[in-house]
A and B are shown apart, each in its own frame.
Chain A
Amino acid sequence: MSTLWFDIAHLFAGGVLVLSLALLYQDRITAVINVFALQAVVLSLSVAWQSVVQGAPHLVATAVIALVAKGLIIPTALHRIVRKLDVHREVERAIGGGPTMLAGLGLVALSILLVEPVVDTADPVAREDFAFALAVVLLGLLMMITRRNAVTQVVGFMSLENGLVLAATGAKGMPLVVEVSVAFSVLIAFIVFGVFVFRIRERFDTVDVNVLERFRGERREHL
C-alpha cells in the first residue's frame, strides 16, 4: 500500500475531526446543522475511500447511507424543525466558546495519547483512524454537555455516532451487520429526537432543555 493511500485516508478522517471541532464554536443553529451535514459528507467520503483501500465493496452501502441520511435528509428535516418552531437562532451555551475549544483540544490530545501507544500491533491506518474516531466521539460528548438547546444536543449525539462509524469502518473487515445497525440506530435516533423536540416545544414553548430542569428531582405535587 503506497503512502498516498494512507494520506488520503488520513485526510478524510482528519477532516471529520476538524469539522467536529468546528461544530464546537458555531453560534447559530443553522450553522451547526450545516457543519454537521458537511461532516457527514466528509465521513461518507472517508468510508468510500476505506472501501477502496480495504477492497470491501459493502462499505459503499455504509457510505451511501451516511451521505443520504446524515448528509441530506436529517439536516433538511432539522432545518425545517428550526424554521417551524422558530427556535432561538442563537445557541445558548453552558460553557463559553473559548474554554470549550480548549477542552476540545485537550480531548483530541488525550485520545491520541491513549490510542497511539496501545494499538501499535494493529496496522497504522487503523491506528491513526482510531485515534481520530475516539476524538470525534469525545468531542460529540463535549458538545452535548456544553449546549443547552435540544436541537444542538441532537446534532452532538449524531456527530458522536459519526465517530462510531469512522471507527467501525476503520476496523478492517468488520461485518456489515454492525454498519447496518449504526445506520438503523441513527434513523431511530432521529425519529425519537424528532418526537421529543416536538413534544418539548409543545409543552414548554421552547427547546431549551434548561427549562426542563425545573422538573428535575422530587416533584412536589402529583400530576
Chain B
Amino acid sequence: MTDLVAALPLPPVALVLLIPALAIPVLAVISNYRLGAGLNVLASGLTLVAGLMLLVAPRVRGDFLIVDDFNIFLVVLTAFVGFSTSVYSASYIGHELDIGRLTPVFLRFYHAMYQAMMGAMNLALVSNNIGLMWVGLEVATLATVMMVGLYRTPEAIEAAWKYFILGSVGIGLAFFGTILIYMVSSSVIGGGVPAMAWDQILVNAAKLEPRLLSLAFVFLLVGYGTKVGLAPFHAWLPDAHAEGPTPISAVLSGLLLNVALYALLRFKMVLAGNAGAIDVGAIMMTLGLVSVLFAALMLYRRRDIKRLFAYSSIEHMGIATFAFGIGGPLANFAGLLHMSMHSLVKSAIFFAVGHIAQAKGTQRLADLGGLSATHPMLAVGFALGVVAIVGLPPFGVFTSEFLLISIAFTHQPILTVILVVGLLVALGALLLRLQQVVFGEPRGKADPVEASYVPLFVHLALALVAGLWLPEALVRWFRSVASLLG
C-alpha cells in the first residue's frame, strides 16, 4: 500500500480535492442521468480510495494544506458517507425522475453540485490556511443551498432562501472572525501567508493578544455555530433538511454539520493555548446544552418526518458540542466518537426516510403507518436506525453517550443531569414516532421500493460493530486526537 501511494503521480491529499473538482464539469455536461449517477458514484468512490490512502501516506504540513490525526479521520468519514450516499442517491433519484419531481437538466446540476459540495468539504477539512478553510465552508454552503431549492416548490424556495440568508450571514461573521485572528497573529508572526497558517497560530497561541483573540472567537462561534446548527442559530436547519432531496438531507446532517464543528474545534484549540482568553469550554457547554434541550422539546410537535430527524440532528450536534466544551481527553474522545456515530446513523435514517417517503408518497407523519406490514425490511432498517440514534445499546451512539455522561458527572454533575433529561425527552419523542410509523394499521399508499437497502444496512452494521467492539487501532487513534484537542 505504501509503495502504491508512492507510485501515485499526485499525493492523496491533492487527489481528495482534485477528483471532485474534475468531476464537476464532467457531470454538468452528461445528459444521461444513469451515466451521471454512475459517474457520481465512481468519483465519490475514488475520493474514498484517496481518503483511505491518506492513512498510509506521509503526513502533510504546508502553509496551505495540513493532514494530521484530527482531520484524517474526518476526511475518511466524509468520503465514506459521501460514497454510500452517492450509491443511495443513484437508486433514489431515478424514482424522483419517474414521478416528475425532477427533470434531467436539474439532475445534471444536482450531480455537479454534489461533487462541488464534497470537494469543498474536503478543502475545508485539509486546509491549514484559515482563509482557505473558510472558502471551503462557504462553497459547501452555497452548493447545498442550490440543492435544497432543487424541487422548486414554494416550500423548497422558502427553505433555500432562509438557509441562504442565515448561512451567508453566519459565514460572513465567521470571515470577520478570521480577519481578526489574522490581525492578532500577524502582530506576533509577522504579515503574510504564515500568519494565516493554523499550525503557526497554534504554536504561537500563548503569545497572542488575549482580548482580541476572544473577540475573534465570538465571531467564529456565531458564524460557524450557525452552520453547526446550534440553537439559537439553527433556524435554517429543519427547513433545509425537510425540503431538499433526501440524499442531501443525509449529507447535510451527516457531514456538513461535522465539518463546521471541526472548524470551530480548530479555533478552540488555539484559544485553549492562550491563558488570557475567554473560557471557550463554558460557552460551548451552554450552547450544546441549550441545543439538546430545545431540540428534544421540539421533537414532540413535528408533523413532517424529515423535520423530525432534522431536530434530532440539532440535538446530537448539541451533545457533541457539550462534550468538547467539557474538554479533557475522555470527553473529547466521547465527542469524536459521537460525531462519527451520528454521521453514520443519521445518514442511515435519512436513507430509510427517503425510501419511506417514496413508498408512501408523503413525508407527513400522520399519513405514515403500518410500515412493518407493507415493507418489513424497510421497517426493520428504520426501527434499528431510530433505536441507534436515541442511544440505546448495542449501537455506537450508546457507547459515546454513556462515556460522555459518566465523564461529565465528575466535572459538571448538575449540567449532566440536565443533559440526561434532554436525552430522555428526545428518546420518548422518537420512540413514540417510531411506534406510530412502524406499527398499527397500514395507512397511505404502499408502493414497492426499488431502491437499494445496502447503504442503509452497511451504515447500521458499522454503528453496531462500533457499539460492540472498537478496534484497538481506532481507539488509539481517537485517544491521540482527543489529547490533541486539549
Contacts and interface: CB of A to CB of B under 8 A. Distances in A.
Contacts of B196: 174-175, 177-178
Interface in B111-167: 129, 131-132, 134-135, 138-139, 142, 145-146, 149, 152-155, 157-158, 160-161, 164-165
B364 A222 contact: yes
B186 A196 contact: no
B154 A203 contact: yes
Nearest to A222: B362
A212 B187 CA distance: 47
A87 to B, nearest CB: 16
B418 interface: no
A164 B191 contact: no
A175 B131 contact: yes
B179 A157 contact: no
A10 interface: no
Contacts of B178: 178
B131 A222 contact: no
B303 A171 contact: no
A209 B176 contact: no
A213 B159 CA distance: 10
A116 B196 CA distance: 23
Nearest to B191: A173
Contact of B168 (A118, A137, A189, A223): A189
Contacts of A199: 149, 152, 157
A38 interface: no
Contacts of B152: 199, 203
Contact of A161 (B139, B172, B215): B172
A164 B161 contact: no
**Among A161, A189, A192, A213: residue with most chain B CB under 10 A:** A192
A94 to B, nearest CB: 14
B161 A181 contact: no
B302 interface: yes
Interface string B352-369: 000000000111100100
Interface residues of A, number: 53
Interface string A144-178: 10000010010001001101100110011111011
A212 B156 CA distance: 10
Given A160-B169, A181-B135, A215 B158 contact: yes
B161 A177 contact: no
A57 to B, nearest CB: 14
Interface stretch (A1-9, A78-86, A119-127): A119-127
Decide if the interface of chain B is mainly helix, strand, loop or mixed. Answer: helix
Nearest to A164: B175
Contacts of B364: 221-222
Interface string A179-223: 001101100110010001001100110000100110110111111
Given A160-B172, A175-B196, A219 B304 contact: yes
A209 B161 contact: yes
Contacts of A212: 154, 157-158, 161
Interface in B193-220: 193, 195-196, 209, 211-212, 215
A134 B138 contact: no
Interface string B173-187: 101101100110011
A172 B362 contact: no
21 contacts: A114-B215, A126-B183, A134-B176, A163-B176, A164-B179, A167-B176, A171-B179, A173-B192, A175-B129, A175-B193, A175-B196, A178-B182, A181-B135, A196-B149, A200-B161, A203-B154, A203-B157, A212-B154, A215-B155, A221-B364, A223-B153
Interface of A: 114-115, 117-119, 121-122, 126, 130, 133-134, 137, 141, 144, 150, 153, 157, 160-161, 163-164, 167-168, 171-175, 177-178, 181-182, 184-185, 188-189, 192, 196, 199-200, 203-204, 209, 212-213, 215-216, 218-223
8 closest Cβ contacts across the A-B interface?
A: A173-B191, A222-B362, A178-B131, A212-B158, A215-B158, A218-B303, A181-B135, A118-B211
